[in-house]
Amino acid sequence: MKDPLVLGFVLVVVDVVLWRAAFPRHDTVRLLLRLVIFALLSALLFGSALSPFTPAPWPESPGRHLAAQILEVSWWLIGARLLTLSLDAAFRSRHWHRERLFQDVLGALVFLAAVVASLAFVLGLPVTGLVATSGALAIVLGLAIQSTLSDVFAGIVLNTTEPYHIGDWVSVDGVDGKVLEMNWRATHLLTAQGNIVIVPNAVAAKTKITNSSRPVALHGVSIALQISPEERPATVLGALERAVTGSSIMLQTPAPYMLIKKVSINSIEYEVTVYIDDMSKTIAVTNQLYDLCHRHLAAAGIELWPLGVPRPPRRDVADSRQRLLSHVDLFRALQGEELEALSKRLSRHEYEANQVVVKSDAVTDYLMIVESGVVSVVVAGPSGPVESTRLGPGDSIGEAGVLAGLPVQAQITALTRAVIYQLDKADLTPLLKSRPDIGQQMCQLLSQQQDSLRKLNAEVPVPAGTEHTVLNWLREGMRKLHDLTT
């Protein structure tokens, strides 16, 4: 067992087992253990006339001579691998640890040097002739794999200049996605549709790259709208400004802006740009922005219809009030005549910017429907007042008060100049008495809304100890408030 060849191969086998089994699991501990094994192997070889810097001994014994050559070559290859891992652990940056290009290129260079050294020292081959032969072979291979080499060198340029890192949201060659991997050949992008797109490094190095993750926590979202040139631009821009005010998930700094992009005889193109702090919000914010713009444009009297089609007639005030009521979920089961009767009982109220509409301790028994403007709803949260939502044209609040006499439990403030219609509870009583089924549907819908409010610490005031569900409690409150028969 004292034979250096046997001991040497035992150490090599142990190193290979640790490498293949990935044991220990911690990379640094495993590297240190492999370095210790390599040090023992080096001490064994240099102390037993098996130096990797000299040709293998025992030429008179072909079997032992070949085994010695294999052991010495293995020393060079293992040393090259451990040198690569050590340099990788000592000098690579936090971002490079997740990128494979430099590790692959550095490993290839170190292994190439180890192979040349082993051929020269262990096998005694003439390096100059080998280099000349390999140079000619390299030219042939270079011509054969020209595109692959282009990707490799382009990858080196990309990793050196660092236009993006793993996890960044980028646009490369017209492909938008999140960077998942960067290797010696290509960049892997995960698109919003869940697909993996592989962009060759040579293509990425030549094309325009847009990195949406820089600067950090600041991303722009833009939408374009084409409006009839008959509409005054100042009116359109005012409606769009109120639309961006209606969202609480968009950043206020930098301020959103809107501008006229292009004017033609058929339309005027407007662009609205807002900012968000997370690219994952892009789809939600874009959809919300289109919805808000549509609602505020309609509230400003700007009817949206296909360009080139004759303008439809303007709705009169009565039709506008019925249309406003039909947007309220509480009244979605009502028919035309019922909506018309309720619309005649709506009262119109105007509020200036920053004016309080309802105080947090006020008890209201009327429904509020926003016709135009933006209204903020603030509820009491665990750590203080919290803005729960912002209301825009077609939104309503106070359903619980007009149906069952429950307080709003929120402070309502106009963020912009606003027009709000109110419907008193007494005006709803005739409808509930003539249509009991409508009242049941309203209670069911309202109970679902109250479940959502409780998540914001705005709980329904159900008396302690009651075994009634929220739906039953609302039904009981409705019967008492509107004097309905059971």
Residue 353 has pLDDT above 60, yes or no: yes
Measured between alpha carbons, how far is 449 from 461 in angstroms, rounded to an integer?
A: 14
Q: Tell me what the pLDDT averaged over the chain comes to.
A: 81
What is the reported pLDDT for 158?
A: 83
Residue 396 · residue 453 · CB < 8 Å:
no
Residue 375 has pLDDT above 90, yes or no: yes
Provide the token pair at 480. 């008492």
Q: Poorest-confidence range of 121-125, 178-182, 279-283?
A: 121-125
What is the reported pLDDT for 322?
A: 85
Q: Poorest-confidence range of 219-228, 325-334, 412-421?
A: 325-334
Average pLDDT of the segment spanning 133-153: 63
Average pLDDT of the segment spanning 249-277: 90
Q: Per-residue confidence at 101, pLDDT binned at 50, 70, 90?
A: low
Average pLDDT of the segment spanning 332-354: 86
Q: What is the DSSP letter of 377?
A: E
Distance from the first to the final alpha carbon of the chain: 99
What is the reported pLDDT for 239?
A: 94
- CATH no. of 219-299: 3.30.70.100
Residue 90 · residue 46 · CB < 8 Å:
no
What is the reported pLDDT for 155?
A: 81
Output 160 or 164, whichever has higher pLDDT.
164
Q: List every span in the chain annotated with CATH 2.60.120.10.
A: 328-481
Measured between alpha carbons, how far is 322 from 389 in angstroms, rounded to an integer?
A: 25
Provide the token pair at 154. 């382009």
Q: What is the DSSP letter of 124?
A: -
Q: Poorest-confidence range of 90-99, 212-221, 300-309, 370-379?
A: 90-99
What is the reported pLDDT for 466?
A: 43
pLDDT in tens, 461-476: 554 444 456 667 667 7
pLDDT in tens, 420-463: 999 888 888 887 787 777 777 777 777 766 665 555 444 445 54
What is the reported pLDDT for 238?
A: 93
How far is residue 152 CA from its own chain's centroid?
A: 30
**What is the maximum alpha-carbon separation in the chain?**
116
Q: Is 75 exposed, middle or buried (0-12, 13-18, 19+ CB in 10 A)?
A: buried
What is the reported pLDDT for 296?
A: 93
Q: Per-residue confidence at 307, pLDDT binned at 50, 70, 90?
A: low
- Give CA angle at 36 (30, 42), nearest 5°: 135
Measured between alpha carbons, how far is 286 from 272 in angstroms, rounded to an integer?
A: 10
Average pLDDT of the segment spanning 51-80: 87
Q: List every span in the chain annotated with CATH 2.30.30.60.
A: 164-211
Give the list of residues 6+ apart from residue 186 with CB closer than 8 angstroms, or none.
Answer: 151, 198, 199, 200, 201
Q: Is 62 exposed, middle or buried (0-12, 13-18, 19+ CB in 10 A)?
A: exposed
Q: How far is CA 166 from CA 215, 234, 333, 419, in A?
A: 15, 44, 51, 49
Q: Hey, is 171 helix, strand or coil?
A: strand
Provide the token pair at 422. 């109110």
Measured between alpha carbons, how far is 453 from 374 in angstroms, rounded to an integer?
A: 20
What is the reported pLDDT for 331?
A: 79
Measured between alpha carbons, how far is 132 from 112 in angstroms, rounded to an integer?
A: 15
Q: Hey, is 182 helix, strand or coil?
A: strand
Residue with tokens 């960077």: 179
Q: Hey, is 484 helix, strand or coil?
A: coil
Alpha helices (runs of H) in 95-164, residue ranges in sequence order: 101-121, 127-144, 146-161
Q: What is the DSSP letter of 25?
A: S
Output 482 or 140, whichever has higher pLDDT.
482
> Cis (ω within 30 of 0) for the bond into 215?
yes
What is the reported pLDDT for 425?
A: 82
Average pLDDT of the segment spanning 150-176: 84
Percent of the chain as helix, strand, coil, to the nearest 5: 50, 20, 35
pLDDT in tens, 208-244: 888 877 776 678 899 999 998 888 999 999 999 999 9
Q: Poorest-confidence range of 78-87, 154-163, 191-200, 311-320?
A: 311-320
Indicate the CATH number of 328-481 among 1.10.10.10, 2.50.20.10, 3.40.50.300, 2.60.120.10.
2.60.120.10
In 3D, which of 306, 268, 267, 289 has the Cα closest to residue 223? 289
What is the reported pLDDT for 142?
A: 55
φ, ψ for residue 207, nearest 5 deg: -100, 170
Give the list of residues 6+ apart from residue 486 with CB closer than 8 angstroms, or none.
Answer: 479
Q: How far is CA 288 from CA 175, 221, 248, 294, in A?
A: 24, 11, 11, 10
In 3D, which of 213, 153, 282 has the Cα closest to residue 145? 153
Q: Per-residue confidence at 148, pLDDT binned at 50, 70, 90?
A: confident
Residue 145 has pLDDT above 60, yes or no: no
What is 164-211's CATH topology? SH3 type barrels. (2.30.30)
Residue 173 · residue 199 · CB < 8 Å:
yes
Residue 449 · residue 442 · CB < 8 Å:
no
Average pLDDT of the segment spanning 254-269: 90
Q: Per-residue confidence at 376, pLDDT binned at 50, 70, 90?
A: very high
Q: List every span in the chain annotated with CATH 3.30.70.100.
A: 219-299
343-355 core/surface letters (b: 16 or more CB in 10 A; e: else):
beebeeeebeeee
Residue 316 has pLDDT above 80, yes or no: no
